[in-house]
Amino acid sequence: MKNMLKTSIVLSLAAVFAASSLSFAAPADKEARKAAIEQRREANKAKMEERKAAREARRDARRKMIEERKAKRESHRAAMKQKRDAHQSEMKQEQEKFKQEMNKPEGAAAPAQQ
């Protein structure tokens, strides 16, 4: 554990030194320095554009998924409403039939029961 810590410290120091020596090793020539800066800017712009495109893709995928869920929910809701309405109309018909049978005179209902 202690050796790993020492190794990581040494590696991080080496990385910092290498980065600083690279910046000091930049050419003294102004044009070359400007070109290097411009190249880094272009690379950073490309990275930003790539990240932006990835973010947009994730956002679009999320929107699409939400829309699909919404459509599924709406279709299910419509199917359940249709089923409920059919059941209610069936129950109303049965209730009307029952009321009609109950309102019949006793003489007419008696033979039907035998």
Q: What percent of the chain has pLDDT over 70?
A: 68
Average the pLDDT over 71-100 and give the result: 96
Separation between Cα atoms, residue 100 and residue 92, nearest integer Å:
12
At residue 111, what is the residue type? P
Q: Report the 10 Å Cβ neighbour count for 36.
A: 13
- CA angle at residue 47 from 33 to 28, to 5 degrees? 5
At residue 90, what is the residue type? E
Residue 26 pLDDT greater than 60, yes or no: no
pTM exceeds 0.75 for this model:
no
Q: Which residue has the higher pLDDT, 62 or 112?
A: 62
> Given the structure tokens 């919404």, which residue do they identify?
70
Tokens at 100, concatenated: 């009609």
Q: Which of 16-30, 46-60, 98-112 has the highest mean pLDDT?
A: 46-60
